[in-house]
């Protein structure tokens, strides 16, 4: 017997794994760099180059990229260096196959740089790697039956149809002109590019990305190389990602995987280093769905034959809520061991880490920390650059009305705004706006009809049923089940009892006449 079927494309998270790894190596200063006297600051990030999926595991190739700022023997001035430490790591994930699509995210929990001697550093970092196995699945939904003699029961069910699922790259390019009161760049010492307030909106045929890139640099000027210059500026981010299946009625989730942005000095029309070229990529994982209210064949029977229905359970996914929330936090961090006056704040870097999240009544409870790191200029000739860092904990509940313990959710966090004000030489006031983006999926384990076989009616059993019967409706009865049990149709029961709808209530009395559609009767 032929069904009318519709193909449903879905994605299910089949597995998730997280590991912590330690990346460590020694790094020799290049011959052209002066000797180190003292380390001032360090900065690092993990970059994933390749993810190779094998049976039951994923092999990740990447590198730890680091910057170091230090006092050097070159007339006691400030110098910098950068380098990378490659790594290869294996994440064990039972059941993963070569054809599966893994979504990998990385974060750096800690970075330590130690001087072995004036020409060698020890680099040590604690990294976290998070992998999710996003499995695509095609489900054949039974939406109808071609035989008009078969009695069919349908139900309406909301579900998500996956339109696309992919990893992609958004390329970013911009140029920044130095203000006229700044000296030309002799050498770039330090740079920090932070993505703030990333917002994504779906349009017809595209996804629009907006936000802000906060750029901080330290450099040596051409006029006086001993004088360290610092500059902070913002660059508006406005990019468009082409997407043929997008329209305002679709739902989407865009997850940044890694941001790789770098600033390099460039010459202007006069041949002077007064331009900063900002280039890089934003790697992201994108899923787009369409919400559908689909008619599904729930049950069927025939008056001519016995129908044997084959069923199989499938997880059908629907969107419960998508909530993008923001909240403010404020605190102070101490500036320790600072003997000289702080003259200027150069850069403030903030990173958000979600340490725990769980489902609570009508919401998601998220606990995490905001790590803040400051770089500043002091009045000390011996150590003109200083750093301070601190951690601000937070706890926040995101609204998700009706969420159940068996529902699944995804949570991402970022710094939308960060303001650091020096209260005095010993502490700084921190104000931040944190963005928490949550998407909650409701997964229903649904039994779908996958096959149907006919067999002759059991005449002996059929003849035992009375031709006419009285029936008193019990609690939970449906007219469909009553008609099926008494070998008749819903339409005939309604006509016989002059019912205007299929709704019946406990205690209703029905007169039922058995249909004579069986073979041989």
Kind of pairing, strands 427-456 and 305-334? antiparallel
Instruction: Report residues of the chain scoring pLDDT below 50.
Output: 518-521
Distance of CA 38 to the CA centre of its chain: 40
- At 367 the pLDDT is 97
- At 213 the pLDDT is 95
Q: How far apart are CA 334 and CA 390, in angstroms?
A: 7
Distance of CA 96 to the CA centre of its chain: 20
- At 519 the pLDDT is 41
- At 11 the pLDDT is 85
**Tens digit of each residue's pLDDT (9 = 90 or more) over 461-472:** 777 778 888 999
Determine contact, residues 360/414, Cβ cutoff 8 Å.
Answer: no
What does the DSSP assignment read for 65-118? EEEEEEEESSTT-EEEEEEEEEEEEEEE-TT--TTSEEEEEEEEEEEEEEEEET
- At 458 the pLDDT is 76
- At 521 the pLDDT is 39
- At 424 the pLDDT is 86
- At 304 the pLDDT is 87
Task: Provide the 10 A C-beta neighbour count for residue 515.
Answer: 16
Q: How far apart are CA 520 and CA 325, in angstroms?
A: 68
Q: What is the pTM of this model?
A: 0.86
Which residue's structure tokens are 């110098």? 79
């Amino acid at each position: 017997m032929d069904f009318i079927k519709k193909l449903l494309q879905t994605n299910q998270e089949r597995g998730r794994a997280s590991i912590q790894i330690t990346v460590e190596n020694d790094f020799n200063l290049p011959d052209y760099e002066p000797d180190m006297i003292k380390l001032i600051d360090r900065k690092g990030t993990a970059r994933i180059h390749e993810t190779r999926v094998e049976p039951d595991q994923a092999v990740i190739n990447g590198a730890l990229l680091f910057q170091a700022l230090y006092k050097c023997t070159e007339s006691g001035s400030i110098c910098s260096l950068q380098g990378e430490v490659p790594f290869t790591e294996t994440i064990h994930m039972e059941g993963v196959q070569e054809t599966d699509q893994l979504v990998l995210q990385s974060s750096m929990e800690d970075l330590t740089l130690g001087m072995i001697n004036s020409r060698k550093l020890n680099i040590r970092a604690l990294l976290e790697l998070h992998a999710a196995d996003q499995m695509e699945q095609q489900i054949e939904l039974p939406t109808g039956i071609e035989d008009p003699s078969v009695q069919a029961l349908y139900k309406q069910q909301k579900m998500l149809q996956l339109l696309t699922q992919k990893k992609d790259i958004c390329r970013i390019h911009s140029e920044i002109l130095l203000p006229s009161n700044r000296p030309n760049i002799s050498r770039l010492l330090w740079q920090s590019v932070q993505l703030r307030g990333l917002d994504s909106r779906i349009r017809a045929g595209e996804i629009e990305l907006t936000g802000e890139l906060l750029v901080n640099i330290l450099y040596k000027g051409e006029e006086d190389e001993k004088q360290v210059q610092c500059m902070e500026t913002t660059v508006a981010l406005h990019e468009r990602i082409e997407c043929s299946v997008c329209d305002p009625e679709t739902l989407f989730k865009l997850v940044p995987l890694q941001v790789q942005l770098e600033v390099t000095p460039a010459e202007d029309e006069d041949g002077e280093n007064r331009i900063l070229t900002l280039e890089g990529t934003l790697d992201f994982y994108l899923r787009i769905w369409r919400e559908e209210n689909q008619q599904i064949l729930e049950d069927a029977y025939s008056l001519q034959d016995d129908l044997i229905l084959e069923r199989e359970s499938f997880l059908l996914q629907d969107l419960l809520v998508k909530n993008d929330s923001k909240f403010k936090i404020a605190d102070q961090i101490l500036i320790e061991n600072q003997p000289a006056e702080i003259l200027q704040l150069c850069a403030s870097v903030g990173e958000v880490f979600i340490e725990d999240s769980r489902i609570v009544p009508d919401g998601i409870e998220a606990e995490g920390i905001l790590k803040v790191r400051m770089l500043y200029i002091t009045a000390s000739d011996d150590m003109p650059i200083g750093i301070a860092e601190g951690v601000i904990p937070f706890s926040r509940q995101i609204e998700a009305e009706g969420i159940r313990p068996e529902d699944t959710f995804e949570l991402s966090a970022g710094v939308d705004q960060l303001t650091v004000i020096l209260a005095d030489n010993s502490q700084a006031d921190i104000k931040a706006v944190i963005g928490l983006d949550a998407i909650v999926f409701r997964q229903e384990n649904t039994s779908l009809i996958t096959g149907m076989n006919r067999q002759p009616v059991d005449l002996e059993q059929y003849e035992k049923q009375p031709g006419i019967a009285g029936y008193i409706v019990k609690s939970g009865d449906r007219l469909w089940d009553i008609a099926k049990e008494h070998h008749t149709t819903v339409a005939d029961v309604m006509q016989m009892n002059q019912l205007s709808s299929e709704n019946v209530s406990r205690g209703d009395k029905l007169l039922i006449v058995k249909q004579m559609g069986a073979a041989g009767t």
